[in-house]
Amino acid sequence: AQSVSQHNHHVILSEAASLELGCNYSYGGTVNLFWYVQYPGQHLQLLLKYFSGDPLVKGIKGFEAEFIKSKFSFNLRKPSVQWSDTAEYFCAVNGYAGSYQLTFGKGTKLSVIP
Catalog residues that contact other proteins under the rule CB under 8 A: 32, 34, 36, 42-46, 49, 51, 90, 92, 94, 96, 98-107
Judged by beta carbon, residue 80 or residue 93, the one nearer other proteins is 93
Q: Could you tell me the smallest distance in angstroms from the CB atom of residue 1 to other proteins?
A: 11
Q: Could you tell me the smallest distance in angstroms from the CB atom of residue 36 to other proteins?
A: 8
Helix/strand/coil (H, E, C) string of 9-76?
CEEEEECCCCEEECEEEECCCCCEEEEEEECCCCCEEEEEEECCCCCEEECHHHCEEEEEHHHCEEEE
Q: What is the dihedral of CA 98, 99, 100, 101, to 10 degrees?
A: -130
Judged by beta carbon, residue 13 or residue 44, the one nearer other proteins is 44
Judged by beta carbon, residue 9 or residue 114, the one nearer other proteins is 9
3-state DSSP call for residue 80? Answer: coil
Q: Could you tell me the smallest distance in angstroms from the CB atom of residue 72 to other proteins?
A: 18
